[in-house]
Structure 1
Amino acid sequence: MMPNFPIIDTHLHIWDFDRLTYSAFQGHPLFGKSYQIEDYQRDCENVEVEAMVFLECYADFTTTSGQYMEEIDFVEDSAKLDPRIKGIVPMAPLEWGPKVEPMLAEMKELHPAVKGIRRIVEFDDDPRALTLSDNFIEGVNLLEKFGFHFEINVNFTQMDIVREFVKHIPNVPMILDHCGKPGIVDGAIEQYRSDIRELAEHPNLLIKMSDLPAAADHENWSEGDLRPYIDATIETFGFDRTIYASDYPVCLLAGSVTRGIEVLDRALAGSSETELRKLYRDNANKFYRLGLPVSV
């Protein structure tokens, strides 16, 4: 099964080792090479994609500098090769607090494809101290001034941090990437239900249905392993606040772009076309301000 309309992929990673430095990927058997837009085009196979949103790729940074603008430049060059790249979500050092404002202003003024910011806290030395620091919270709240949203990237062991963090972000639109990387291998479905039930109480937070196989046993996962998490997500956030994404090429750890969509389609069998269009396209168009025609 495949959607019978073009979809929007809201989580595309591409990287170029010749242009930027990615120490986290070096030596990795799958990720230790460049992934360009041509690779994504090939690996989408028969999936019809109307537009993509690029997500930052954890390019090397320090406490005082990073490759933030250089990554945007790389993606803008890639968009010249494939203009379906309609949005960019770069990294910015929001933990700088008010000192990050000039960088955000530059992104807003000079790079109109920038739609929001992601600052991965999952891999930080102290995710709790970072996420709940006054400076980080101030930096995230600054995004409202520029019309940007914030993407939350954690794993299920850090969701208690997220539950506290979102209480301090009343107005900035947010989205939880990859369903918060639930503990599928650990069978942590009850924790997942509890976490997202509380998070869904915040109307400015959406959830990204992406790459659940990567949170399962990469080699031996089944649709039955994923189904409770898909069901819980839809039951809690509904079709109005859930957005599809592939998480390419991370999805290759446990499958493919095509297989991920097939699993999701079977889980959502019986849903209306209106609901499926919201999940696969319309919510993304609205949340990421892509300016594509509204479905009729």
Structure 2
Amino acid sequence: MPNFPIIDTHLHIWDFDRLNYSLFKGHPLFGKSYQIEDYQRDCGQLDVEAMVFLECYADFDAKSGQYIEEIEFVEDSAKRDPRIKAIVPMAPLEWGDRVEPMLAQMHAEHPTVKGIRRIVEFDEDPRALTLSDDFIKGVKLLEKFDYHFEINVNHTQMDIVREFVKLVPNVRLILDHCGKPGIAEGAIAQYRDDLKALSAHENLVIKLSDLPVEADHQHWTEADLAPYIDATVEHFGFDRMIYAGDYPICLQATTLPQWVEVLDRAFAGVSEDDLRKFYRNNANQFYRLGL
């Protein structure tokens, strides 16, 4: 474990009594509420200084969604654990200019909102959505509010990301979960090629998380993950990598303490300065936490 407190930049909590989540309904692991107290318990011996909440794909449609309601739920949770220092909600960026009033409301009324995530991975046509003129307009609006955009895709959609980043050069971007590489499929060559291309865009950083989930859930080994960790370090370095736990999604394949132990062994011999960048300082700067 690091000998200093860390920042977890990817926390999910949800409450079926307050919001609707069709994505998780009936799921054997996720079909129940996860509250901040569950996260506190499952951190074990991890010393977590601060957390960043990421939206949980609460139900929405073409005209409306639970965008503000989810923020309010997390704000209430932060009253019970003030270590929740930042919120990255969902917003319908595909609305283009019409999303600006919602972003303005978030900015004016919810100061812990630091950026926006609109998951394109689960869309019926991720390419058409991500590269549409209105979506690009919506993403570009984030710059006006000093918000960043979080990219959530899987490895079969990384070609879309390689085109998308060229269209929004002035918006700060972060790639969640390393783009969900095809570890179970052995797609290391594709991963290296994607990261080499994406690392050329200086407005993009990468969130190192969820690799066990992208491997065989029950039978992954550290040797399976090592090439992907090494490639991430090679192309983004410790100045552009950020640690994340992805609770409770990570529970499909690992625990929060186990994931940190994997990273500790992978980074054996790395300077404390670089470890502090990865586990804390880069997150503090990127999410503007003021710690």
Count of residue pairs brought into register by the alignment: 291
In 1, the alpha carbon distance for the partners of 2:39 and 2:91 equals 25
Alignment TM-score, normalising by the size of structure 2: 1.00
In 2, the alpha carbon distance for the partners of 1:24 and 1:186 equals 24
Alignment TM-score, normalising by the size of structure 1: 0.98
Structure 2 counterparts to residues 1-296 of structure 1, below 5 A: 2-292=1-291
Deviation at 1:68, TM superposition (A): 0.1
In 2, the alpha carbon distance for the partners of 1:290 and 1:97 equals 28
Identity percentage of aligned residues = 76
- The DSSP-based 3-state class of the residue aligned with 1:61 is coil
In 1, the alpha carbon distance for the partners of 2:289 and 2:196 equals 29
In 2, the alpha carbon distance for the partners of 1:101 and 1:37 equals 30
Cα-Cα RMSD: 0.3
Deviation at 1:52, TM superposition (A): 0.1
Deviation at 1:211, TM superposition (A): 1.2
Deviation at 1:175, TM superposition (A): 0.2
- The DSSP-based 3-state class of the residue aligned with 1:170 is coil
Gapped regions of structure 1 (runs ≥ 5): none
In 2, the alpha carbon distance for the partners of 1:52 and 1:40 equals 10
Runs of at least 4 residues off by over 6 Å: none
In 1, the alpha carbon distance for the partners of 2:105 and 2:171 equals 19
In structure 1, give the amino acid aligned to 2:59: D
Deviation at 1:94, TM superposition (A): 0.1
Deviation at 1:83, TM superposition (A): 0.1
- The DSSP-based 3-state class of the residue aligned with 2:76 is helix
Gapped regions of structure 2 (runs ≥ 5): none
